Structure 1
Amino acid sequence: MEFLKLYLDHMVLGTLGFMSFIMLAFAVERYIYFWRIKLVDFKHIELLKVALTRNLTTISSVGANAPYVGLLGTVLGILITFHEMGQGNKLDVNSIMLGLAMALKATAAGLLVAIPAILFYNGLMRKVDVLVSRWTALQDGFA
């Protein structure tokens, strides 16, 4: 329990920071790729879709799972707070509230990672749809 008390914040916030870094790196990579893509280089629509959706699963997975990582940190933080309450002879309301407030920061951090990830994912998926439509128009001779 002492290990969790000392390192819980570092583990949860470190994991969320890593997830955020990966998500942001893939989102920037995809935007640059979409900006530079030449639709005429693709002869088949499925090959185009594979190229366009590369790394989008990772961005989506970060958006879907970051709140759970934050929630896990909150639950473990509350567990630590209750454990400390059970170990002590006195119930100090201030220390209990402080422990609970500090535990909730993990959930907030998870949401701060998830919301931009979902926004990036949705924006990138819209761009995929537009590029596929442009490719189809090119193939039909409407470009």
Structure 2
Amino acid sequence: MESGLNFVDLILKASFLVQLVMLTLVGLSIASWAIIFQRKTVISQAQSQSKNFEQKFWSGMDLSKLYNEIAARTGSASGLEALFVSGFKEFAKHKKGNIQSPSIVVEGTHRSMRVALSREIEKLESSLSFLATVGSISPYIGLFGTVWGIMNAFIALGEVKQATLQMVAPGIAEALIATAMGLFAAIPAVMAYNRFAKNVEKLETQYINFMEEFANILYRQAATQVEAKQNVSA
């Protein structure tokens, strides 16, 4: 005599709607795990790239040389490199012209870097909303399957004259599996979302700090250039 209930049999014997709920939850779980691994790789690469670029940037390397080195690479720059390229490119345009005020230069480079910052953060946050959605709705989808399964179990129970626990247990058990699967899909998604959102927030702060520091450097260079032109004209 078998003891306990077979998990696979319970799923196969569940009603069509409950099976559909389970299938939906399995699909959401697989999709969320795929996004978790993909986002982990992207965010880890962004953290590593930012660290390496900052070391090179603050090493005292000539900014023009650094810009040319990044521009010569195949593929578009990302992370701090994207902010640096957009800011320095805008600065170079102003530098070729007649700089009247350093503030005008910094304002232009700031606008350019803010656009680049928005694009980089958008890349990092891609698909995070899906994880948040899975974490929010999966328990309710599972609960819907459970309620439907228990309702069917009690309806079937009402059709017999003598009810026993052995008759009720399988129907309730197969219904509760939907709730368990909902939690199985939701918990990793919520944990991953919170972790990734925190990491993206740290990267955004790092990007903003670099943007301000870089803008100050460009301001000083622009001020030096304006001062030199004034001395020559005097």
Q: TM-score, normalised by structure 1?
A: 0.87
- Cα distance between partner residues in 1 of 2:146 and 2:152: 10
Deviations 1:76-117 (A, max 9, x none): 110110110122222122211332122111111111111111
Residue identity opposite 1:66 in structure 2:
S
1:13 aligns with 2:22: yes
Does the CA-based 8 Å contact 2:14-2:175 persist in structure 1? no
Match of 2:81 in 1: 40
Give the aligned CA root-mean-square deviation in angstroms.
1.9
Q: What is aligned with 1:23?
A: 32
Aligned to 2:128: 56
Q: CA offsets per residue over residues 24-63 of structure 1, 9 Å max, x none?
A: 1112111111122332214323222222211111010000
Q: Distance in 2 between matches of 1:58 and 1:27?
A: 10
SS in 2 for 1:87: coil
Alignment of 1:80-119 (within 5 A): 80-119=152-191
For 1:60 and 1:47, the matched residues in 2 are separated by 21
- In structure 2, distance between residues paired with 1:86 and 1:31: 51
> Does the 8 Å contact 2:18/2:146 carry over to 1?
no
Distance 2:15 2:150 in 1: 14
Bigger Cα Rg: 2
Q: Where has structure 1 moved over 6 Å in runs of 4 or more?
A: none
* Gaps in structure 2 of 5+ consecutive residues: 1-12, 47-78, 84-112, 215-234
Percent of aligned pairs with the same amino acid? 29
Structure 1 residue 9, shift from structure 2 partner: 4.3
The partner residue of 2:146 within 74, 91, 113 is: 74
User: How many corresponding residue pairs?
Assistant: 139
Distance 1:6 1:102, change over 3 A: closer
The normalised TM-score by structure 2 is 0.55
Alpha-carbon separation, structure 1, partners of 2:188 and 2:169? 30
Contact 2:146 2:177 survives alignment (8 Å): yes
Q: Which structure would you say has the larger RCO, counting Cα contacts within 8 Å and 6 or more residues apart?
A: 1
Q: Which runs of 5+ in 1 are unaligned?
A: none
CA distance in 1, matches of 2:206, 2:174: 49
More off after superposition, 47-56 vs 61-70: 47-56
Which amino acid in structure 2 is aligned with residue 15 of structure 1? Answer: T
SS of 1:141's partner is: helix
Is the CA contact (8 Å cut-off) linking 2:15 and 2:149 kept in structure 1? no
